[in-house]
């Protein structure tokens, strides 16, 4: 039996801006994508720690070391600049997996 399990988690990232006109996705800097074990185009669940709003989208890889977390498309109405979020991806497996987790500070630098 396959079980859906947490694969990757970026905890307490800060959204730096939103772009309603863009077609969709969440842009995450390459260094955070790699540290969390995410893939370009991978489906993610984004949950606001600030408001409780959440949505699903896909990962768009941005330039490394910018600290820019950009919510694109209609989701920019749900989660706005300045909100803290958790970005999670899940995988199906028949064995327990150990998720990769990172924690960010106010500048979206990895602190844990």
Active site residue 25: yes
Q: Catalytic: which of 4, 22, 48, 58?
A: 58
Measure Cα distances from 93 to 2, 38, 57 in Å: 5, 16, 21
22 is annotated as an active-site residue: no
Instruction: Find the catalytic residue in 4, 8, 22, 25.
Output: 25
Give the largest CA-CA distance in the chain.
Answer: 41
Distances (CA, A) of 29 to 2, 3, 5, 69: 31, 29, 24, 7
101 vs 22: CA distance, rounded Å: 28
- Residues taking part in catalysis: 25, 58
């Amino acid at each position: 039996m396959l079980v859906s399990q947490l694969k990757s988690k970026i905890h307490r990232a800060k959204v730096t801006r939103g772009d309603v006109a863009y077609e969709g996705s969440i842009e995450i800097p390459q260094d955070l994508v790699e540290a969390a074990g995410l893939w370009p185009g991978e489906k993610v669940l984004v949950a606001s720690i600030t408001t409780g709003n959440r949505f699903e989208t896909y990962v768009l890889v941005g330039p490394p070391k910018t600290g820019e977390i950009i919510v694109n498309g209609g989701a920019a109405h749900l989660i706005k600049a300045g909100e803290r979020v958790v970005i999670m991806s899940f995988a199906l497996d028949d064995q327990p997996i150990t998720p990769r987790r990172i924690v960010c500070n106010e500048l979206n630098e990895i602190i844990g």
